[in-house]
Chain A
């Protein structure tokens, strides 16, 4: 049982506790020599389009289910949207292995803090914790294993939804309306940019998210669309003053069905407005669809 002298106590940080008890949480790849062209050359799994949209009730978070290794699909039902705690969610893009591990550590850290201190971290504090983890992960990102999360939650102090975008260096950027990450983020971001209104209700925000994911999947080979044959649909979650709620596959399927009805009614619009650069995009090159892809698979 871990017991520390006063002054030597790791406090409410679970990462620090792990270090003190001999397991460095981010040491996994630090000793591995860099492969030619980084780990990207080893074709590790890369996760793809995730997004968050502010609604009048809080915030909506969504993500597709496809994971790819090079040009192969490695998982069809991968989960990229997770509850961080009862009032927040984290969505991930980038290298799947380290990303999932980071989410796990993040969830543990939030719960651990709450138990040690007797009250939860503020939403801002949670967002900063995730930034700190990304900074610790930077050596791995430099070796070709980037993790780019989105963090979103209901802030009980402000009584509203808030969302945060990150870069691989641990840069933390609060967005007011929506945030996207992953190889399909350019297309998803464009749809969100055009469809966002200040007073979106939760169902409207969910419908807009689904539309954005659909267009991202339509243009980006590394983003998976709805799969009614297998009953696999993108993960949709809504966070409000009531807390985190993930929609069941049936509910997600219904949101997609209404989108499908709209799309087939209005003809195939394609939605490939790739020329519109999204403000705050990490991808940069608005002229080539391939430009945004380099965000996650260098």
Chain B
């Protein structure tokens, strides 16, 4: 893609692309993923009820994306396809987050170095462990860098500040409601409040009663359930 008669050093080229991607990601709201006692919670600030940042990929795997919606949604669909094809060709138990995270990393790395413009996205791929298995949290950046995170993971424009606020209140024994409350407080910061309809919440639950009949661990919470989890509903006069 170099133009005739012009030289741009590789360092400069990569720097420019990274700056471009970071600027795009910084424009969007953040997303928090955290392990709690019986699973993993994914909480995003999202004013839209239909354009989703958090989604189901496979039985125990979920996806979260921030940045340009159309770009991370394409990644989400590619992930569903990868997982479903693998499960069809081999077995459902052969589909795992680690391999999916590597596939995403390759794809993002490819876009970053070879395409005209990098993808302006940052994503998380998480898998809930059943029984003695540990949970897996992967964070993948716009340039294909993969990070294997523990306990919690934050992506988006304000990720560093949000991460500090999660760290202050985090306890691995939190229940789901407490985890959602912590995520909201961390996303909002000290100066503002986020109402339930502006939160997108999904859980990967490891404590489903009948695992044989409910292999899909992903559960999206609707606005009413989010309000109950946050403890906001008691303030509503019609519910008292």
Contact = CB atoms under 8 A, between A and B. Distances in A.
Interface stretch (B52-60, B171-179, B181-189, B194-202): B52-60
A21 B86 CA distance: 12
A108 B74 CA distance: 20
B77 A116 contact: yes
A244 to B, nearest CB: 9
Contact of B57 (A17, A18, A115): A115
A17 B81 contact: yes
A14 B84 contact: yes
Given A3-B74, A108-B87, A112-B84, 20 more contacts: A1-B78, A1-B81, A1-B103, A2-B78, A2-B82, A2-B85, A3-B78, A17-B84, A17-B85, A18-B85, A18-B88, A21-B85, A23-B89, A108-B88, A111-B84, A112-B80, A115-B55, A115-B57, A116-B77, A118-B50
A18 B87 CA distance: 12
A21 B81 CA distance: 10
Contact of B107 (A3, A17, A115): A3
Contact of B79 (A1, A14, A21, A118): A1
14 contacts: A1-B79, A2-B82, A2-B85, A3-B107, A17-B81, A17-B85, A18-B88, A108-B88, A112-B80, A115-B57, A115-B80, A116-B80, A118-B50, A118-B52
Residues of A contacting B: mostly? helix
A208 B20 CA distance: 67
Interface string A1-42: 111000000000010011001010000000000000000000
B16 to A, nearest CB: 25
Contacts of B107: 1, 3
A23 B84 CA distance: 13
A111 B95 CA distance: 15
Contacts of A18: 85, 88
Nearest to A112: B84
Contacts of B74: 3
Interface in B83-137: 84-85, 87-89, 103-104, 106-107
Contacts of B88: 18, 108
A112 to B, nearest CB: 5
B38 to A, nearest CB: 21
Contacts of A112: 80, 84
Contacts of A118: 50, 52, 55
A1 B82 contact: yes
Interface residues of A, number: 14
Interface size class of B (residues with CB under 8 A): 20 to 34
Nearest to B89: A23
Given A115-B56, A118-B52, A1 B106 contact: yes
A161 B80 CA distance: 30
Q: Which 4 A-B pairs have the closest CB atoms?
A: A1-B103, A2-B81, A1-B82, A115-B80
Interface string B128-149: 0000000000000000000000
Given A115-B55, A115-B57, A118-B52, A108 B84 contact: yes
Nearest to B104: A1
A20 to B, nearest CB: 10
A9 B104 CA distance: 19
A38 to B, nearest CB: 28
Contacts of A3: 74, 78, 107
Contacts of A14: 84
A162 to B, nearest CB: 23
Contacts of B77: 116
* Among A2, A17, A111, A115: residue with most chain B CB under 10 A: A115
Nearest to B80: A115
Contacts of B56: 115
A17 B80 CA distance: 11
A64 to B, nearest CB: 22
Contacts of B52: 118
Kindly name the residue among B74, B84, B89, B106 whose own CB sees the greatest number of chain A CB atoms within 10 A.
Answer: B84
Nearest to A244: B213
A3 B103 CA distance: 11
Contacts of A116: 77, 80
